Structure 1
Amino acid sequence: MARKLQSGGRLRPIDLARGYGLSTQAVRNYEEAGILPDAGRTAHGYRTYTPLHARALGAFLALVSGHGHRAAASIMRAVNRGAVDEAYRLIDESHAQLLDDRRTLRAVEGALRDLAPTAVPAGAVASGSGRTFVGPLAAELGIRPATLRKWERAGLVRPRRDPLTGYRVYDEADVRDARLARQLRRGGYLLEQIAPVIAQVRSAGGLEPLEATLRDWRDRVSARGRAMLTGAAELEAYLRERG
């Protein structure tokens, strides 16, 4: 249906809406937001669209899958106002973010390979003590002590309190959990998404439960990359038709 719209004649809002599984209000909203070119008007003031509008809508929806709604809208607005180089820059930024996501995924996978249930990063735990405190651990992870305390409130780490000083004390399992939390946060996971993973690691006594999380992450990164290719093809077709 969508392909037929891109090669037909004059189109009504309902034609675009049905062709792409949208409401007519959504089509009007996209036009008003600059995602679609301005519509023509009949003598009675009704909107009329063309195959170019259908091509623009198809490009936008394809871009959303790979770049997200906000970036896709910005790309289409740039194209429609003639700022094609700005659109290319926005696309480049999305590709750079995807590359960063891939690098972070590899970093997490590498970190997990290096982690054993009793592994402790060098320098984070005082020699022979089997424990560390908030300041040294935060420095080891490259985060602020306040971040560790926030993670504690979210259940990501569970330090005990020294009975004499009241200071937080992180044992080897806490250090492991903090390292995992740091890596997953870098991968874009929210605290509420990380907490169940770390809880699974604790209950299982190891890192195996993370394998499913990493597979899901890898699948999402790959799907986004493929969606970007589809979006690029649709946008190129729109650019050619715009001339």
Structure 2
Amino acid sequence: MRTLRPSDLAREHAISTQAVRNYEQDGCLPPAERTPTGYRIYTDLHAAALRTYLILIPAHGHARAGEIMRALHADDLDTALTVIDRGHSQLLRDRETLTAVRRAVDHLITESSSAAPVSAGTRTVGELAHHLRVTPATLRAWETAGILSPDRDPATGYRRYGPTDLRDAELAHILRRGHYRLDHIATVIGQIRAAGSTEALANALTGWQAAITTRGVAMLDAAAALSRYSAALHS
């Protein structure tokens, strides 16, 4: 097997030689032998490890990619596979959440078009509960779930629901009538706050879908690279 310098590995990926040494120190590359004068001696196996690690990052992120490589170098394939399984499970949850959010946003766009505009001013928990025909306990549960975040009156400590809170409460009420779970409603409301409107969020979901697809393809590439590297590691 040929010998390589840190600069040879670094040049292939346009990274610094210090980055290569850091990856070795972190266990993402197998330990390198040293010359009598202390210089690292890398081989094609180290080059393959670096390629594999860098392919893993878009699929699983830096932290999990490092866990996978360290497990392989410790001859602990089960741990490596467990980390990979967690990544696939998270991707599946993201897909399911995206699907639920898409449906919820479509539901909101349809239902909100006929809803009365949200009035200005603030309301107490009792006033808002009466307006929505729910209980104050329901509003507090929505707050606990992250759907609402009302201010507090500095003098009394009572909740005060401003125009944005009223809008979010109206949207949450629509979605609860559609039998959406509180965690999905919280995700939708959080995305609407960031996007500014349900229409803007509907457009943003296209980008979310593209990111999930890109990550899924990256996981396929990572699986192929890991299979090749694992075989080389044990050959």
User: Normalising TM by the smaller chain, what interval?
Assistant: 0.7 to 0.9
Structure 1 residues 111 and 88: alpha-carbon distance in aligned structure 2, compared to 1, 3 A threshold: same
Taking the aligned partners of 2:41 and 2:97, their CA distance within structure 1 comes to 47
Of residues 3, 18, 21 in structure 1, which corresponds to 2:14? 21
Instruction: List per-residue Cα deviations over 1:128-173 (Å, max 9, x = no partner).
Output: x34657631243x4x517x456x346xxxxx9x8xxx965358863
Which residue is equivalent to 1:4? Answer: none
* Structure 2 residue 168 is matched with structure 1 residue 168: no
User: What is the SS of the residue equivalent to 1:49?
Assistant: strand
Q: How many residues align?
A: 208
Which residue is equivalent to 2:184? Answer: 183
Which residue is equivalent to 1:235? Answer: 226
1:131-170 matched pairs, under 5 angstroms? 135-139=137-141, 141=142, 144=144, 147=146, 151-152=149-150, 167-169=159-161
Note if contact 1:39-1:48 (Cα within 8 Å) is conserved in structure 2.
Answer: yes
Structure 1 residues 114 and 36: alpha-carbon distance in aligned structure 2, compared to 1, 3 A threshold: same
Of residues 95, 102, 124 in structure 2, which corresponds to 1:102? 95
Note if contact 1:132-1:169 (Cα within 8 Å) is conserved in structure 2.
Answer: no
Q: Name the amino acid aligned to 1:111.
A: A
User: What is the SS of the residue equivalent to 2:2?
Assistant: coil
Question: What is the percent sequence identity of the aligned residues?
Answer: 40
Tell me by how many angstroms 1:77 deviates: 0.3
Which residue is equivalent to 1:196? Answer: 194
Structure 1 residues 183 and 48: alpha-carbon distance in aligned structure 2, compared to 1, 3 A threshold: same
Q: Name the amino acid aligned to 1:51.
A: D
Q: Name the amino acid aligned to 1:35.
A: C
Gaps of 5+ in 2: 117-127, 176-181
User: What is the SS of the residue equivalent to 2:3?
Assistant: coil
Instruction: List per-residue Cα deviations over 1:36-92 (Å, max 9, x = no partner).
Output: 000011122110100100110111100100100000000000000100110000000
Note if contact 1:71-1:90 (Cα within 8 Å) is conserved in structure 2.
Answer: yes
Structure 1 residues 18 and 178: alpha-carbon distance in aligned structure 2, compared to 1, 3 A threshold: farther
Note if contact 1:64-1:72 (Cα within 8 Å) is conserved in structure 2.
Answer: yes
Gaps of 5+ in 1: 1-7, 120-124, 154-158, 202-206
Which residue is equivalent to 2:27? Answer: 34
TM-score normalised by L of structure 2: 0.76
TM-score normalised by L of structure 1: 0.74
* Structure 2 residue 211 is matched with structure 1 residue 220: yes
